[in-house]
Amino acid sequence: MAEERGVSPASAAGAFVTLQVVSTVTRFGIPILAEHLGSKGVMAACFFLQVAPVLILFIAHDPWMFYLFAILFGIGFGGEMTAFPIINRQYYGNAPVGTTYGWQMMGAGAGMASGAFLGGLLRNFTGDFTLTMVLSLLLSMVGVVSILVLPSTSHHQIPNWEESLPDGYRSIPIQSSNQAD
């Protein structure tokens, strides 16, 4: 897209590398922010940073605009995935969350793969990236709204999850108040 709009191949590649570097660095910082500021707000901000920068692409013609997109989108893209374990712990405490996390990652992967596929089809069909960017905006906004409607992370969603397990599966047996000391 950048090259089609007159940006040199070197500058276009530089913007892509910038996105990857920012995304990588962000993957280390976002879990810390999510822990201290609350994962729901941090995740919503990361998802929003996958929406708002796409608006830049509708008008981008200069290298600095593609670099600005790369930095902002890189923060959102890098931060999204690494905040999931934090929000899971804030919602479920010490409950096992492997299955939940697996479903989250499978959903994210399926969404990214299908988005890339559909975006490519739209690009091939229309000859430009306009509908692809609109699709990205709409689907990413669904992610932002989905995060915003989640319950607060200030208390566990299933506080006594182990009590619903059969006795043999609990890590600590539940003491009955009728037992003798």
> Distance (Å, rounded) from C-alpha 22 to C-alpha 51?
17
| Mean pLDDT score across all residues of the chain | 87
Residue 177 resides in a domain: no
Smallest CA-to-CA distance from 42 within 30, 54, 26 is with 30
For residue 14, what pLDDT is reported?
96
| Helix/strand/coil for 94 | coil
- Dihedrals phi, psi of 84, to nearest 5 degrees: -60, -45
Residue 181 resides in a domain: no
Residue 23 resides in a domain: yes
Residue 80: give the domain boundaries: 3-156
Residue 139 resides in a domain: yes
C-alpha distances (whole Å) from 158 to each of 121, 167, 172 are: 42, 18, 17
Residue 12 resides in a domain: yes
CATH for 132: 1.20.1250.20
Name the pLDDT band for 181 (thresholds 50, 70, 90). Answer: very low
Does the pLDDT at position 173 exceed 70? no
> Which residue has better confidence, 144 or 167?
144
Does the pLDDT at position 61 exceed 70? yes
Domain count, the chain: 1
* Percent over 70 (pLDDT), the chain: 94
This prediction's pTM: 0.79
> Distance (Å, rounded) from C-alpha 11 to C-alpha 66?
9
Average pLDDT over residues 126-149: 91
Does the pLDDT at position 70 exceed 90? yes
Residue 88 resides in a domain: yes
